[in-house]
Amino acid sequence: MQPSRYSWKLLIDALVFKKKLIAAIGGAVAATFVLVSFVVWTLPTSEPGPPGSMDAQDLPKLNDDSLSIELVAEGLEFPTSMAFLDVGNILVLQKNDGEVRLVSNDQLLVPPVIQIKVANEVERGLLGIAIAKSGDDTNQSAGTDVFLYFTEIVGESEGGSEKLRNRVYKYQYDWEKRILSDPVRILDLPGDPGPFHNGGKITIGPFDGRLYAVIGDTNAGGGMLDNEIGGRQPDDKSVIFRVDRDTGMPLEDNPLTGNRSGYADSKLGRYYAYGIRNGFGMDFDPVSHALWMTENGPETYDEINIVKPGLNSGWHKVTGPIGRTNVTIGSDLVMFEGARYEDPVFSWYTTIGVTELEFLDSNMLGDKYANNIFVGDINNGNLYFFEVNENRTGLRFQDSRLNDLVADPVPDDSPSEISTILFGTGFGRITDLETGPDGMLYVLTYEDGKIYRISKKPSA
């Protein structure tokens, strides 16, 4: 381990003092002091370093010795999501105080690029970000649209309580002033009764340029969109939206409208999927171009799903594989025209608080990781790694106990079913993952407010 800057300074101070001492009082006393100063400068290595330093033993652990992990930034307050403006600049959302922070060349800058007044109880707050650039990294003036998803306080109800909406706005990023400005509202979604299951992750489809946004059931229940037969008409809960990113308008090629002429008038014209309890993770397969997402189960079955157009994920009738329940698609689920039920491609029987899913669209960590999937959780601070199968229709497992597509509980004396998919530990709580423009994997942690970078060690 390298001595920290702090211990180097003590060493220099001790040596300078020692030199003066030798000159003043002669060799015998100085010889004694050499021993004393040696003790003085070695002491700090066993004490906490100055702010900003991080000893290797405090870093999260990875199960692949060919990779290394380093701290990029710390001091973030309950960060939920991050997005790269370019190779040196990351925007990070702080859930509770509504600040969007800028991490520039691994430094967290103090002034926020914007502060938004958000409702922040439990799962409400500043939740999701997506960036769409009309230029490239060398042409910053060409325009950078930044989309934010947050729970906005929009007024007071008659009873005096706050009226809340989950909304997506589009802003312009000013590269010179480092601020977000010119908000345009794109989506205006329910926020009640809550306060759980607001979803919040958003992304711009890399292959179609559309805005995708996930919202959970906001604790409502009882709607057709969460499979209550005869329940409330579609009301923008428990869905993944797919809309025009500049207007929020429905799209003619969305799956649930059957290309009927009335698609634009129907709520269904803005949906890509439904039957979703809540989700904190979405990404597109860079090979197949399919959308994948994570979904949070109640006490059991956190899921990874491939979101084919029109997916009904089954909530609140089924989580996990439908074959493990008594539910029948035809009689128990609400199936709109154009809908399909699909089982998850993987589930954790015991919920982990699954969060972000990231396809690493880079070979910078080695071929094994390229175009495969990292997933984070918020309950255990674990990072999971999955290999996608050859046809890109599911996952490939080393442990045959996962061929039933579920990590099940095991007796105390057996190895865990997650042991072969567990890639990293000690992250505290993970809220976001990103492939950086440099091809490295970036990990955002919630309670300790840190960003880590995972890269390949230089080969010997």
Quick one: which of 346, 316, 345, 319 has its CA closest to 333? 316
Which C-beta is closer to Ca ion: that of 166 or that of 435? 435
Which C-beta is closer to Ca ion: that of 232 or that of 401? 401
CB of 75 to Ca ion, least distance (A): 20
User: Which residue lies nearest Ca ion, judged by its C-beta?
Assistant: 313
Which C-beta is closer to Ca ion: that of 56 or that of 229? 229
Which C-beta is closer to Ca ion: that of 123 or that of 269? 123
Which C-beta is closer to Ca ion: that of 260 or that of 401? 401
| d(C-alpha 147, C-alpha 357), whole Å | 19
Which C-beta is closer to Ca ion: that of 54 or that of 335? 335
Extract the tokens encoding 119: 């409702």
CB of 427 to Ca ion, least distance (A): 15
Quick one: which of 373, 383, 319, 372 has its CA closest to 347? 319
CB of 64 to Ca ion, least distance (A): 19
CB 197 within 8 A of CB 123: yes
Which C-beta is closer to Ca ion: that of 49 or that of 439? 439
| Residue ranges binding Ca ion (CB under 5 A) | 283, 313-314, 359, 361, 401, 404, 406, 408, 432, 434-435
**Crossing angle for the helix pair 27-42 and 5-25, to the nearest 10 degrees:** 170
Give the phi and the psi of residue 29 in degrees, each rounded to 5: -65, -40
CB of 351 to Ca ion, least distance (A): 13
Which C-beta is closer to Ca ion: that of 86 or that of 408? 408
In DSSP notation, 180-238 reads EEEEEEEEEEE--S-SS-----EEE-TTT--EEEEE--TT---BGGGT-TT-BPP-S-S
CB of 276 to Ca ion, least distance (A): 8
CB of 267 to Ca ion, least distance (A): 21
How long, in residues, is the chain?
460
- Whether cis (ω within 30° of 0) applies to the bond prior to 316 is yes
The CA–CA distances, whole Å, from 432 to 200, 289, 304, 316, 377 equal: 12, 21, 15, 26, 9
Q: Is 240 exposed, middle or buried (0-12, 13-18, 19+ CB in 10 A)?
A: buried
CB of 318 to Ca ion, least distance (A): 6
* Nearby residues of 177 by Cβ (< 8 Å), 6 or more positions away: none
CB of 176 to Ca ion, least distance (A): 27
